[in-house]
Amino acid sequence: MTTATLPARDQVKPGDRWDLSSLCQDDAAWETEYKKLDEQIATYETYRGRLGESADVLAEALTFDSQFDRLAERVGTYAFLKTTEDQGNSDSQAMKLRFQNLAVRAGQAASYMRPELLSIEEARMSELAADEKLAPFRLQLQRLLRYRPHTLTDNEERLLAMQGEMASAAGNAFRQLNDADLRFGEIEDHEGRKVELSHATFGQMLISPDRKVRRKAFHQYYEQFSNHENTLAATLGGSIQRDVYYARAKNYDSSLQAALFPDNVPVDVYDNLIGAVRESLPNVHHYLDVRRRKMGIDKIHHYDTYVPILSGVKKHHTWDQAVNVILESLAPLGSEYVGVLEAGLRGRWSDRYPNRGKQSGAFSCGTFDGDPYILMNFKEEVLNDVFTLTHEAGHSMHSWHSARSQPFEYYNYTIFVAEVASTFNEQLLTDYLLKNAADDNERAYLINNELDGIRATVVRQTMFAEFEKITHEMAEAGKPLTVATFREVYRELLTAYFGPDFVIDDELERECFRIPHFYRAFYVYKYATGLSAAVALSRRVLEGGKQELDDYLRFLSGGCSKDPLDLLRDAGVDMTQPEPVATTLERFRTLTEELDQLI
């Protein structure tokens, strides 16, 4: 039997590789652009202390800063993408490191601009901003000035900045323990092969068709977190206390308000998400019972919730076949959208297949001046890779539309809306595949996939979001954050979200100690709101007409020209209300009922 090996990078056909010439023609051109940037760093110093001098000076300084950032985006992205092609290529790694050093030096040179602008008296700043020369930067200045109530004196800001490395100690300690020190031993998979159990292979074990393998992997994996729970509780508690400290120091009402402030998102949005999901939990419990019955097991555990209920459905797509299916599913978005995407996917936007040393996974990387590139490790026999490709294509088309409709300063959309366009595409692909399913088994497989996606992205991430809210409120109230209190809070959430008939193994209480997102709190809710907005908007476009489509395409073109909530509201979904989340969870309910009837 022969062993399949990955090709070296230079053995990959050019047509299967991306063409980075829209960023830099080649490495020599990159070197020229790099040197240009390096020489320009000193220009920042010529504006120090002069930003309030006149509208002319301020406009000139902001224009220079914008042009520098625009060139740096191209140069930095080219270097980054080169490293992902082959992570063993030392020349590419050197490029990336050189750019990172340049970016640090440029950041230091420009670091005075924000505090200097905030130190300008309000009346004077209003006078400057009213000048037409500053019209291109007016929104930027307005957004910056929102931070005035949360900006301290120069000395106080300097002291806070000096605490940066110390403040990251808890997160660094967690990452070292979690990524480097924990060892989970070996495990035998369902084919009898010895596999090292790790964070990556744990996920693979949870989708094993052999329940004994899933159970053993679960208990063996969490044993390590049990052995280190005191250290993990201390690091998580330290991270939460850091958030509380900085929020208080910066005059925010709470650490949650501080986290939502940059996107101008009211706390009500966060609370509405939790409330809407809580109200729909009986439907989640019903789905878990359907899963239990269809899997033929008496009691359902956490390690039974990831394996597909139907595992015998096989689909094969070549790259061109996958592109065909994706384009057909996206036909409701119009000929321009489909035409641009087809040219990119059949052309050189995407780095398609695995090669030796290539970065794993998938991502989209859009820039203002370059093509919106997609890294894939496409496998023809994996249906999920078709979903991954349309997901990343959604990001890329979001970048493409925004870059062509907005100036550089306002083209780059925020994280809050980033997942909307990508999961919107997944919704359209699911709708198309369901309509064209070959039989009930294939339809049931697709419905199961959709249900697990909603449960993982909306329900599970909302549970995480509620845990973050509760534990930060405990710290703000002076309540102790210990192994016992963390586990108590988490078990109460597990009981509520999984239901009374779900078996909660004691080890699962320790899940709260292993979630990396908890060390950069109040981020996970964006996954839930993003998918909820995507489901609501996809229903609106599929069931609507020209106006609904135009609203959505205008959203894709919005970049960050408005606050995220305003962009979504203009597209037809109001995330300050519970309805978008309720729409998603109602879809979850109806799909559960259909799944129960199909199998």
Active site residues: 392
* Continuous segment of H or E residues that includes residue 363: strand 363-365
378 vs 387: CA distance, rounded Å = 11
Tokens representing 524 are 């996970």
Q: Coil, strand or helix: which one is 143?
A: helix
208 vs 69: CA distance, rounded Å = 47
133 vs 530: CA distance, rounded Å = 36
Tokens representing 483 are 């192994």
Cβ neighbours of residue 507 closer than 8 Å, sequence gap 6 or more: 218, 219, 222, 223, 225, 226
Alpha helices in 499-571 (DSSP H): 525-543, 546-556, 564-571
Alpha helices in 373-414 (DSSP H): 383-405
Helix/strand number for the chain, H first, E second = 26, 7
What value, to the nearest 5°, has the Cα angle with vertex 300 and ends 500 and 456? Answer: 85
Question: Which amino acid, residue 240?
Answer: I
134 vs 326: CA distance, rounded Å = 43
Question: Which amino acid, residue 181?
Answer: D
Q: Look-up: residue for tokens 């239990």?
A: 292
413 vs 436: CA distance, rounded Å = 34
> Do the beta carbons of residue 514 and residue 178 sit within 8 Å?
yes
> Do the beta carbons of residue 503 and residue 299 sit within 8 Å?
yes
> Do the beta carbons of residue 513 and residue 229 sit within 8 Å?
yes
Task: Point out which residues pair with 364 in neighbouring strands.
Answer: 374
